Amino acid sequence: MTLAASAGVTHREVLARAAERLGAAGCETPRLDAELLLARCAGVDRAGLVVRARDPVADRVADSFAALLARRERREPVAYILGRKGFRHLDLGVDARVLIPRPETETLVEAAIEELLPGARVLDVGTGSGAVALALADERPDLEVGATEASPGALAVARANAERLGLAVAFEAGDLLGAGAEPGVWDAVVSNPPYVSEGDRGELEPELGYEPGAALYAGPDGLDVIRPLIPAAAACTPWLALEVGAGQAPAVAGLMRAAGYATVGVRKDLAGIERVVIGRR
């Protein structure tokens, strides 16, 4: 029986069937995904689904839910289907032009929030949806925040997020540090650059196939963007924090030392992975 042809079927039953289908499709959190999608179609939050558990699902809701469920069965990320992703205190608009912000990137934001001096001017390189820059502008309103982005599509998403959230970030289309690639413009640089190695393409979960390749992959060892970024930042700014992939921290720390950062530290994410490398001069 299809979900769309399930007249009289309750929310609870529809959710159970949907979760089963998503589980069979290999989704990691099938019940949660089903709840988020049904809640969207029913125009309620997840708590609202509990209240309606024994109520039949309206035909209109069942039809739209069936369409979203089919997309998720094809492993399209929930964030793209909903067009939204929460990051720190922000509800960001996302679509296939930008990387979906990840929880581990909070480690990068926390490093900047804790270490940057009041009033510091900080540049987010490769801003994507604007996640890092906007979180800093939101949580440290004393900072002057700028952001660069090489992808025009991603930059449009970031600008739209800033406008909707009412947060001030100076966005610039450009490569690496953009026009600010000279001493005295920025006090600090933060970046979550692409860092997945090309060799891992195709071996990762199907959801990543929906995200922009330019936001994920960076050459044979994943360091093709980080390698030019470090000396460019070192020539201009005394503080650089980079998010890196599992196992990349020692190599990135070495690159920072070679570029002139005297003190290099590493922060672990909640999973205990060395996630952020910080260079200080």
Ligand X SMILES: C[S@@+](CC[C@H](N)C(=O)[O-])C[C@H]1O[C@@H](n2cnc3c(N)ncnc32)[C@H](O)[C@@H]1O
Side by side, the strands of the sheet bearing 274-280 are 170-173, 144-149, 121-125, 188-191, 239-243, 274-280, 263-268
Specify burial of residue 31 (Cβ count, 10 A radius: 0-12, 13-18, 19+).
Answer: middle
Nearer to ligand X, 63 or 224 (CB): 224
Closest CA to 191 of 237, 107, 254, 132: 132
Told to check if 193 binds ligand X by CB under 6 A, we report yes
Told to check if 214 binds ligand X by CB under 6 A, we report yes
* Count of residues interacting with ligand X (CB under 6 A): 23
Nearer to ligand X, 90 or 150 (CB): 150
| SS3 category, 235 | coil
Site for ligand X in 140-179 (CB under 6 A): 148-151, 154, 175-176
Told to check if 192 binds ligand X by CB under 6 A, we report yes
Task: Return the DSSP state at 28.
Answer: S
CB of 26 to ligand X, least distance (A): 24
Interaction mask 78-107, ligand X, x per CB under 6 A: ---------------------x-x---x--
Site for ligand X in 41-60 (CB under 6 A): none
List 93, 128, 245, 279, residue binding ligand X (CB under 6 A): 128
What amino acid occupies position 240? L
Q: How far apart are CA 177 and CA 213, in angstroms?
A: 20
Chain residues that interact with ligand X, rule: CB under 6 A: 99, 101, 105, 125-129, 131-132, 148-151, 154, 175-176, 192-194, 214-215, 225
